[in-house]
Amino acid sequence: MKELEKQYDPKTVEPYWYDRWQQKGYFHGDASKGGTPYCIVIPPPNITGILHIGHALNNTIQDILVRWQRMEGKNTVWLPGTDHAGIATQNVVERALRKEGKTRHDIGREAFVGKVWDWKEEYGGTIIRQLKRLGASCDWERERFTMDAGLSEAVEEVFCQLYDKGLIYRANYITNWCPRCHTALSDEESEHQDVAGKLYFIRYPVKRDGKLTASEFVVVATTRPETLLGDVAVAVNLKDDRYKALIGKTLSLPVLHRDLPVIADDFVDPAFGTGAVKVTPAHDPNDFEMGQRHKLAPINVMNPDGTMNEGAGPYAGLDRFECRKRIVTDLTAAGLIEKIEAHQHAVGHCYRCDTVVEPRLSLQWFVKMKPLAEPALQAMLDGRVRFVPERWNKVYADWMGNIRDWCISRQIWWGHRIPVYYCDACHHQWAARGKPGHCPQCGDANLRQDEDVLDTWFSSWLWPFSTFGWPHKNPDLALYYPGHTLVTASEIIFFWVARMVMAGIEFMGEVPFREVYIHGTVRDDKGRKMSKSLGNSIDPLTIIEEFSADALRYSLMMITATGQDVYLSNEKFEIGRNFGTKIWNAARYMQMQDPAGPVRAAAGFDAALLSADDRHILAKLSQTIEACTENLKRFRFNDAAQDLYAFIWHEFCDWYVEYSKDVLYGQDAARRAEVIKVMHYAFSTALRLLHPFMPHLTEELWHGMGYGSEEETIMLAPWPKPLTGELAQWGATPEVVQYVDARHELIRMGRMLRADCGIAPGQKLDYSIKPNTPQLTVWLKADTTTLMSMLKAKSVSVDAAFVPAAAMPSALTPIGALYMPIEGLIDVKAESVKLTKQLEELGGHLERANMKLNNPSFINKAKPEVVAQFEKSRQELQEKFNKVKRLLDMMG
């Protein structure tokens, strides 16, 4: 126990406690200790990354869950680590290399990969250090990297299993190609962006009897004129009368003068463009399929870097966009451009470098996804894994249901090299774990390994079990798999979450986590995504510097409604800072009153000495425990944060501390001791609830106040339980709560009157409250009309008989008396619900009765007495109905 400084100093306090927690090993989970596991794996940030505000949000949420569950006594692991981020990291190192005037090809594969490792050693830990500054209670002893030995082993194992099962294949196919990164991309890595492009209408001359006709053309529309160099046909719809006669005829490809057949294909939509489509199998996925259907060999006219190759004839060597310009110029000169229209369409962009993606034919590796997706979809439908908020279930299901094969090969050097080997002697090809010495078929030792590396996500999708030592069986894997919760943003549901579910089921036989909490995206105050290029990003470390890590964490939680996007600006962080200051000062107040208070508080209360206010704050505390816990269970972090804020600031500080001053500065020693006990009880409990949100401040106060011994930590203090039994024991009944709440209302009204009537704050007024009909008598210098209207606005009843003038101090004018009915308050909601049920029942009867009476067959068949009797009872019912309705109206 030490005296609290006047000013809280997070800059020294926060790192102090974080280091201590780490030294003491509080973050580490030990499988041999057994118990109920609670495991979260971190979405591994890229080694190229620096902590941005989205990470801060994501990791604060995870830390809150983990710290809460740790206090609940679970065997907790939050497994941290980083992702090697293939393309992104390679780009960074290549850029550095370029500054030296070199390319990766100049230094060779091995040296380049060595350089990336060097870079990783030097800079790859940045984000980890930043997570520590945030207060993340990760199990750092378990830190993993997607390229470390264990994970690489898992990657090879998975590749071989899928390969041997026939789920991995190699094929020539149109893939998304990034000409800047020189690699294929998966569909997910190609981001569609709307682009204001142009639709070029180009004339293809028709040949008759092998000769060009001067005036006959087929006009095709395209957004990428340069690809016409790779055309092998023009397609029309069989049902399109305009072109029927041309099917089977020959056209001449502009510029290159190649002969192109006119073919018929259902794919062509007669309503779009001109109804005639150029067929370019090497540069368009649809055309590729058409080419296959019609057995037309593709012509590739582009190099991997996006320049035109020798197939482009005179345009060889030009960049694709330069070529586009030139070809349009040339076509225009030749009179072959019919028109050019503006055309808005979606174009794929590389998710790493934002270059326009080129659909391009190349030899790539793929994973067959359907067999993996079906059980993963089923797991969600069964509820074995569920998304919060629920709406993401549908997004997940849609993707799983329409899944396409996953292109997993990348033409880069940084990553897990594809473990496929080729024997040139016998042309055998196989996948192997570890580096094989010779060909298993012919024994030849002259082997080649595939040059490509795997998609980064091919290691990420194994993260929940590869990090625990899979494929080797071990106690960690047995206890901590499957994990409990996954916390992430919606952007990587397809990249990562969905694929982890598939891998978990395929290789572990069970989903990797039970629930997936999808939080919102952090945006700036104009609704834009935070990004470096926009210059609108808020650097969490700057915020930590200016406010504190706890302030950052708490503020983020206050404004993050479940799954909603967060709009952020700098001043939002004042919430957390001010809250921290408030708490600090409340603690100082208590310490000043009685430094030994916490010790005495441990003794428990003497119920007979508790006042209504004491009981009230204890009841509110219990409500807060319950609400806060429930809200954490439901991922309602903003509500939980709000609960704590309202309790600590408004109940505890605004009311209870103020109330306590009367007692603590007073003479009644027994009451004084009791109030101090209550105060410490409430405060220390609130600190525990707040710990997951503001870990450093709460630990500092836990020790500063002396709630735990030097060797203890609030991190492992038990999570508070609602005080159901205790409240009854202490006499903290709902009536007491209602009474005190009502009195607060009265006091507020008194203050209002003071303020409105201009009574100086220093001037004492005489408020008297009588039991049962607590009456506030106010003497004020104001007229009755004013008071009446004020009271009316607050809908408080005013006794018609004012206090007799004789009873007033002569210097003041009596103006009114205020009544607050405490006994006999009607629970309008409960009563209404009761009546509503009655009404529904009556309504049902009534409707049936009406139906019967309106039914001709009933009237005809029934005896008149029966009808009369029926009519009578229907009227009675109606009356009853109206009565209930009137009652309801009165209450409403």
Judge contact between 140 and 444, C-beta under 8 A. Answer: no
Cβ nearer to RNA, comparing 40 with 407:
407
Determine, following the binding rule CB under 7 A, whether residue 585 of this chain makes contact with RNA: yes
The distance of closest approach from Cβ of residue 407 to RNA in the complex, given in angstroms and rounded to an integer, is 12
The distance of closest approach from Cβ of residue 802 to RNA in the complex, given in angstroms and rounded to an integer, is 22
Cβ nearer to RNA, comparing 432 with 757:
757
675: Cβ–Cβ under 8 A, 6 or more apart, which residues? 611, 614, 660, 663, 664
Determine, following the binding rule CB under 7 A, whether residue 661 of this chain makes contact with RNA: yes
Residue 494 DSSP one-character state? I
Extract the runs of DSSP E, i.e. beta strands, from 530-681. 566-568
User: Using the rule CB under 7 A, which residue among 335, 383, 761, 856 binds RNA?
Assistant: 761
CA dist 668 and 664 (Å) reads 8
Cβ nearer to RNA, comparing 808 with 835:
835
Cβ nearer to RNA, comparing 274 with 355:
274
Cβ nearer to RNA, comparing 539 with 741:
741
Stretch that binds RNA, among 449-457, 522-530, 697-705, 765-773 (CB under 7 A): 522-530
CA dist 239 and 217 (Å) reads 19
List binders of RNA among 866-885 (CB under 7 A): 885
Stretch that binds RNA, among 361-369, 395-403, 511-519, 601-609 (CB under 7 A): 395-403
Cβ nearer to RNA, comparing 275 with 774:
275
Q: Using alpha carbons, list the distances in angstroms from residue 491 to 13, 78, 284, 346, 385.
A: 35, 22, 27, 19, 18
Determine, following the binding rule CB under 7 A, whether residue 633 of this chain makes contact with RNA: no
The distance of closest approach from Cβ of residue 432 to RNA in the complex, given in angstroms and rounded to an integer, is 33
Cβ nearer to RNA, comparing 106 with 745:
745
Q: Which string of x and - marks every residue 731-760 that binds RNA (by CB under 7 A)?
A: --------------x--x--xx--xx----
Q: Reduce the DSSP state of residue 136 to 3 states and report it.
A: coil
Torsional class of 433: left (φ above 0), alpha (ψ -120 to 50), beta (otherwise): beta
Determine, following the binding rule CB under 7 A, whether residue 338 of this chain makes contact with RNA: no
Cβ nearer to RNA, comparing 537 with 562:
562
Residue among 164, 173, 273 at smallest CA distance from 223: 273
Determine, following the binding rule CB under 7 A, whether residue 395 of this chain makes contact with RNA: yes
List binders of RNA among 490-509 (CB under 7 A): 490-491, 494
- Pairing state of beta strands 429-431 and 447-449? unpaired
First to last CA, the chain: 56
Q: Which string of x and - marks every residue 217-236 that binds RNA (by CB under 7 A)?
A: ---xxxxx------------
Determine, following the binding rule CB under 7 A, whether residue 578 of this chain makes contact with RNA: yes
Judge contact between 352 and 91, C-beta under 8 A. Answer: yes
Number of residues located near RNA, criterion CB under 7 A: 94
The distance of closest approach from Cβ of residue 743 to RNA in the complex, given in angstroms and rounded to an integer, is 13
Containing 235, the helix (H) or strand (E) segment is: strand 233-236
List binders of RNA among 540-569 (CB under 7 A): 559, 561-562, 564-565, 567
19: Cβ–Cβ under 8 A, 6 or more apart, which residues? none
Determine, following the binding rule CB under 7 A, whether residue 767 of this chain makes contact with RNA: no
- Residue 685 corresponds to which amino acid? T
The distance of closest approach from Cβ of residue 178 to RNA in the complex, given in angstroms and rounded to an integer, is 16
User: Using the rule CB under 7 A, which residue among 346, 445, 534, 866 binds RNA?
Assistant: 346
- Pairing state of beta strands 522-524 and 515-519? unpaired
> Per-residue b/e over 533-566, b at no fewer than 16 CB within 10 Å?
eeebbbbbbebbeebbbbbbbbbbbbbbebbebb
User: Using the rule CB under 7 A, which residue among 5, 118, 444, 654 binds RNA?
Assistant: 654
Determine, following the binding rule CB under 7 A, whether residue 589 of this chain makes contact with RNA: yes
Residue among 204, 444, 519 at smallest CA distance from 334: 204
Determine, following the binding rule CB under 7 A, whether residue 613 of this chain makes contact with RNA: no
List binders of RNA among 236-295 (CB under 7 A): 267-275, 277-278, 284-286
List binders of RNA among 772-811 (CB under 7 A): 793, 795
Backbone phi and psi for residue 342, each to the nearest 5 degrees, phi listed first: -70, 140
List binders of RNA among 804-843 (CB under 7 A): 827-829, 832-833, 836, 839-840, 843
User: Using the rule CB under 7 A, which residue among 259, 341, 354, 525 binds RNA?
Assistant: 525
List binders of RNA among 416-445 (CB under 7 A): none
Torsional class of 275: left (φ above 0), alpha (ψ -120 to 50), beta (otherwise): left
Cβ nearer to RNA, comparing 287 with 506:
287
The pair of structure tokens assigned to 798 is 């005013």
Determine, following the binding rule CB under 7 A, whether residue 391 of this chain makes contact with RNA: yes
List binders of RNA among 463-492 (CB under 7 A): 490-491
Judge contact between 717 and 708, C-beta under 8 A. Answer: yes
User: Using the rule CB under 7 A, which residue among 394, 427, 433, 861 binds RNA?
Assistant: 394
The distance of closest approach from Cβ of residue 394 to RNA in the complex, given in angstroms and rounded to an integer, is 6
List binders of RNA among 69-108 (CB under 7 A): none
CA dist 492 and 498 (Å) reads 9
Determine, following the binding rule CB under 7 A, whether residue 586 of this chain makes contact with RNA: yes
List binders of RNA among 667-686 (CB under 7 A): none
What are the residues facing 39 on neighbouring strands?
77
CA dist 231 and 296 (Å) reads 10
- Pairing state of beta strands 168-178 and 81-82? unpaired
The distance of closest approach from Cβ of residue 188 to RNA in the complex, given in angstroms and rounded to an integer, is 6
Number of residues assigned to the chain: 892
Stretch that binds RNA, among 158-166, 376-384, 631-639, 668-676 (CB under 7 A): 631-639
The distance of closest approach from Cβ of residue 656 to RNA in the complex, given in angstroms and rounded to an integer, is 9
Cβ nearer to RNA, comparing 454 with 522:
522
Q: Which string of x and - marks every residue 28-67 that binds RNA (by CB under 7 A)?
A: ----------------------------------------
Find tokens 């079906």 and name the residue: 374
Cβ nearer to RNA, comparing 586 with 601:
586
Cβ nearer to RNA, comparing 341 with 451:
341
> Per-residue b/e over 714-726, b at no fewer than 16 CB within 10 Å?
bbebebbebbeeb
The distance of closest approach from Cβ of residue 472 to RNA in the complex, given in angstroms and rounded to an integer, is 35
Judge contact between 515 and 388, C-beta under 8 A. Answer: yes
Cβ nearer to RNA, comparing 172 with 441:
172
Cβ nearer to RNA, comparing 79 with 583:
583
The distance of closest approach from Cβ of residue 81 to RNA in the complex, given in angstroms and rounded to an integer, is 25
Q: What is the DSSP string of 683-749?
A: HHHHHHHHTTTSHHHHHHHHHHHTSS-TT--GGGSPPP---HHHHHHHT--HHHHHHHHHHHHHHHH
458: Cβ–Cβ under 8 A, 6 or more apart, which residues? 155, 158, 159, 408, 416
Determine, following the binding rule CB under 7 A, whether residue 574 of this chain makes contact with RNA: yes
Stretch that binds RNA, among 77-85, 244-252, 530-538, 654-662 (CB under 7 A): 654-662
CA dist 310 and 298 (Å) reads 14
Residue among 397, 399, 367, 398 at smallest CA distance from 379: 397
List binders of RNA among 178-197 (CB under 7 A): 187-188, 191-192, 194
Cβ nearer to RNA, comparing 49 with 285:
285
User: Using the rule CB under 7 A, which residue among 122, 241, 310, 571 binds RNA?
Assistant: 571
Determine, following the binding rule CB under 7 A, whether residue 382 of this chain makes contact with RNA: no
